[in-house]
Amino acid sequence: MTLQFGTPEDDVSYRDRPASFGVAVRDGRLALVEVSKPGQPPWHDLPGGALDPGEEDAAAVVREFGEETGLVIQPGPLLTRADQVFRLADGTPVNNRSGIYRVDIVKEDASLKVEDDHRLVWLDPLQALTVMRHDSHAWAVACWLRRQAAA
């Protein structure tokens, strides 16, 4: 069973949007992207996003990480699956049906970064929990933190 996050608006139909995100840590800090869109306050997300048609979760998280951060990553184990209803920046209502993975950073490659409205930021994981836009992302980070504590 996949957890569902977000509060759906009455009489709004949310289309399913397969997505994949990653939890990457460097020197005890969590990788997030700060997204800035015209006319909207910036928000923070885990790096990742929608799958292209026919694309697998693992391939999508690698591609999206590169496009948003300029980091080459290797997907590790699936942390959780968590869905999130919300509206895209253009107002389209979607339900991100997300696989969220623990990922390892392989190297940096600035040529991969193509999303100019995304900026890589490194935050303490507890601080990240308080600023992330999506509860599904916070859930995944909480899962990761609990597994770290148990290890």
Average pLDDT in the 42-49 region? 97
Residue 60: Cβ within 10 Å count? 23
d(CA 66, CA 33): 12
Look at residue 2 and tell me whether its pLDDT is greater than 90. no
Identify the pLDDT of residue 52.
96
- Strand 48-50 and strand 71-87: the pairing is unpaired
Average pLDDT over residues 8-31: 97
Taking 80 as the threshold, does the pLDDT of residue 1 lie above it? no
pLDDT > 80? residue 149: no
**pLDDT > 90: what percent of the chain?**
92
Q: What is the pLDDT of residues 100-147, one digit of tens each?
A: 999 999 999 999 999 999 999 999 999 999 999 999 999 999 999 998
Least confident of 17-26, 70-79, 117-126, 139-148: 139-148
Q: Identify which of 39, 45, 31 has the alpha carbon closest to the alpha carbon of residue 102.
A: 31
pLDDT, residue 37, reads 92
Q: Can you tell me the mean pLDDT for 44-70?
A: 97
Buried b (16+ CB within 10 A) or exposed e, 41-50: eebbbbbbbb
**Average pLDDT estimate for 90-109:** 97
